Amino acid sequence: MPARGHLIFDADDTLWENNRIFEEVIADFIEWLAHPELDAVGVRRVLDDVARANVAAHGYGTKIFIRSLEDGYRSLAPREVRPADLDAISELVRRLTWEELEIIDGVPETLATLAARHDLLLLTKGDDAEQRRKLAVSGLASHFRAAVVVREKDADAYASVVADHGLDPAATWMIGNSPKSDILPALEAGLRAVFVPHEHTWRLEHAELPATVPGGRLLTLTRFRELLDHF
């Protein structure tokens, strides 16, 4: 790439652990629910349907996740919903305060090196205040020229970032773990993309990636620190 290019980074599950914590809460919820008829797979299917509907209507973030758990419980409850049940759910999600973050291995030192070589931006989706608070807690904010929070990461969102921040699409790479939100829409918007898989990527973010992209516009790595071998 050019001597100095533009690197746009996803946040959740690219820079720090995120969905794994949600998955742990869901597992605890399923165990607590102990549904008399549905197994864990059946309960999860209901929860995913509820989450999909709430995301479409209300967006992303911890508040929406908690709402989805409560709505899911109302659909699944084997008895009339009681205030004590909702209190129990509140206990299950207590860990989702994001007062501390688990930074993914290699991220701080890799960002520090890349920031000296290139122009770094952050692009994440969800609740604006929540995502900016996570960035502040992470201690990584100083590496980025700008942090952008959007409701949905689609091709229009990427095109807006390019226009608003004066980026050259041919020298701009989107780096993230989500095929659906980080890779496919960035490619659609004419950018280049780096896919860094994460074993706990949210199932609603899964999508099929093309085997090849003309012009070498898609790069797949195994670890975050491998970015230093290419940029």
CA distances from 163 to 33, 95, 230 (A): 48, 38, 25
25 touches 93 (CB < 8 A)? yes
CATH for 6-17+101-229 is: 3.40.50.1000
* Same-fold call for 6-17+101-229 versus 19-92: no
Pairwise CA distance, residues 123 & 27, whole Å: 29
Q: What is the pLDDT of residue 114?
A: 97
**Structure confidence by residue, pLDDT tens digits, 83-141:** 899 899 999 999 899 999 999 999 999 999 999 999 999 999 999 999 999 999 999 99
Residue 206 has pLDDT above 80, yes or no: yes
The number of residues making up the chain comes to 231
34 touches 13 (CB < 8 A)? no
Q: Give the sign of the dihedral formed by CA 102, CA 106, CA 107, CA 112.
A: positive
Residue ranges of domains in the chain: 6-17+101-229, 19-92
Pairwise CA distance, residues 78 & 11, whole Å: 38
173 touches 8 (CB < 8 A)? yes
Beta bridge partners, 218, equal 193
**Structure confidence by residue, pLDDT tens digits, 154-195:** 999 999 999 999 999 999 999 999 999 999 999 999 999 999
Average pLDDT over residues 184-213: 93
126 touches 60 (CB < 8 A)? yes
Does the domain at 19-92 match CATH 1.10.3470? Answer given as no
Average pLDDT over residues 6-16: 98
Q: What is the pLDDT of residue 1?
A: 58
